[in-house]
Structure 1
Amino acid sequence: MGLFKKNPFGHYLFIKKWLIRIMGGLTHQRYQGFNDLQIEGSSIIKDLPGRNVLFVSNHQTYFADVVAMYHVFNASLSGRVDNIKNVGYLWDPKLNIYYVAAAETMKKGLLPKVLAYAGSVSIDRTWRADGKSVNRQVKMSDISNIGMALDDGWVITFPQGTTKPWKPIRKGTAFIIKKYKPIVVPIVIDGFRRSFDKKGIRIKKRNILQSMVIKEPLEIDYENEEIESIIEKIEYAIEQHPTFLKVIPESEIKAHESLNEQRRYSSDYKAEKTPKNKDKKNQKES
């Protein structure tokens, strides 16, 4: 690799490699130490082509989800199946992994800017901006940039566009699939919302069982399949279809989300009357 070689977005690969090495080393214990990331299906990763692969996943934090995927993908490519032990797999990371993120999120602070250089394809959300609902046209340059990333390598996207569960899949993901015809690999994650704050930076609770399930690529008829059909397939694949609410009561989900909000914002939450030994027992059971 030449010292001054760039990717299609003008980022120096030498700098990107060192950012991934450093950030990977700093974050490894968040998934293999403070918490326990259980992985299933990572053997699929090694059989994928080097480019035009789109990963679709549910979303729980701004950054922790995608950082975990960088770990899992690179570990799998180095021969580790369903584990991320020994961070040495990041010495020679795959440099053409990208992820789709909201432009406004990636501009707020130094850390998001560093993470953006490591692989963000930043887009302007059509439905929300600065915490307010909006309704604006999709920028064709955003679509083109995602296409450019797919042409160069792998792209991770969170098609619900939010960390809140059970939200609808955005149609833009289906349009991208029909336009660029990538291999679509679903991923289902859990435990990240309980482990980290909303941004995925601060460790909120330790000894949480995190999980990442990588599923077989979806079968899609790129030429003839309707947008709605592709959306429904994604909803089922990442386990965010409304029918899943029949398995997990919505009241339980809302209660769980409310508890997360208390943990995030209440400084008095840790001082509840629950005995320490009981709290430790609950952590292990969760």
Structure 2
Amino acid sequence: MGLFKRNPFGHILFVKKWLIRILGLLSHRRFRGFNNLKIEGSEIIKDLPDTNVLFISNHQTYFADVFSMFHVFNASLSNREDSIKNVGYLWNPKLNMYYVAAKETMKSGILPKIFAYTGSISIERTWRSEGKDVNRQVKMSDISAISKALEDGWVITFPQGTTTPFKPIRKGTAHIIKRYKPVVVPIVIDGFRRSFDKKGLFIKKKNVYQSFEIKKPLEIDYDNESIDSIVEKIEYAIEQHPSFLKVIPQEELLAQEELNKQREWLDS
């Protein structure tokens, strides 16, 4: 790699690599130390093409969700099976990996601006700005940036556009899927909201059961399937469909609590 080689967004890859290494080292214990991230489905990562892959996920914190994905994806590509043990996988991280984030979030301080260099596709939200509801047109430059990132590599997006659970899926994600026909890989995370603050920068509670499930790519008829049908598939895939909002019986809650205790005992 040339020392000053850049990606399509003008970022110097040598700088991006070192930022991922440093931020990865600083964040590693948040997922393997203070907490122990349980990973499922990492074998799927190794079989994906190098470009035009779109990861869709539920959203629990601003930054920790993405950090965890950088760890899991790079560890999986380094032949670690459902594990981020031994942080050496960060030495040669995948550099053509991007994530969609709100522009106002990535400009909210020096740390977010540094994080942005690791692969942020910063877009203007059409429905909310500075804590207030808005209604504005999608900027074509934002769509173009996502297209450029898919052509170059992998893109992570949170189709609800918010960390609040069970909010509607934004149809823009479905439009991008129909237009660019990426491989769509669902991810479901849990435990991040309990273990980190809303931004995902500070540890709120230790020894929280965190889970990270990578599911098989969605089967989508890009040409004939409707936007609403794709939206519904996304809702089910990332477990944010209203049907998941069921009242859980007390016995089921107790059984789940007992299972979590057994997992903690097995990991100790």
Q: TM-score, normalised by structure 1?
A: 0.87
Pairing 1:269-280 to 2, within 5 Å after superposition: none
Distance 2:188 2:15 in 1: 30
| 1:179-258 alignment, distance < 5 Å | 179-246=179-246, 248=248
Matched, 1:93 2:101: no
Alignment root-mean-square deviation, CA: 1.2
**1: CA distance between counterparts of 2:121 and 2:179?**
17
Residues 47-89 of structure 1 deviation map (CA, whole Å, 9 limit, x = unaligned): 0000000000000000000100000000000000100000000
CA distance in 2 between counterparts of 1:248 and 1:172 reads 32
State the shift of 1:214 in Å. 0.1
Task: Work out the CA distance in 1 between the residues paired with 2:200 and 2:23.
Answer: 14
Partner of 2:22: 22
Aligned equivalents of 1:196, 1:226: Cα separation in 2: 37
How far 1:247 moved relative to its partner?
A: 5.2
Cα separation, 1, equivalents of 2:144 and 2:247: 39
Number of residues of Structure 1 aligned to a counterpart in Structure 2: 252
| Alignment-derived partner of residue 258 in structure 2 | none
Work out whether 1:83 is the aligned partner of 2:93: no
Partner of residue 42, structure 2:
42
The CA deviation string for residues 181-203 of structure 1, in whole angstroms up to 9 with x for no partner, is 00000000000000000000010
Distance change (3 Å), C-alpha of 1:137 and 1:243: same
Q: Deviations over 1:101-157 (max 9, x none)?
A: 000000011110011000000000000001100000000110010000000000000
**Cα offset for 1:246?**
2.1
- Structure 1 CA distance, aligned partners of 2:248 and 2:64? 24
Name the residue aligned to 1:107. 107
Name the amino acid aligned to 1:182.
Answer: P
Which residue in 1 is equivalent to 2:175?
175
Distance in 2, matches of 1:88 and 1:114, equals 22
**Unpaired runs of at least 5, structure 2:** 250-260
Match of 2:32 in 1: 32
- The aligned amino acid for 1:169 is I
Aligned mates of 1:142, 1:247 — CA distance in 2: 39
Moved runs in structure 1, 4+ residues, more than 3 A?
none
2:121 partner SS: strand
Within the alignment, does 1:122 sit opposite 2:85 as a pair? no
> In the TM superposition, what is the alpha-carbon distance from 1:224 to its structure 2 partner?
0.6
Could you say what secondary structure the match of 1:218 adopts? coil
Structure 2 match to 1:254:
none
Aligned to 1:60: 60
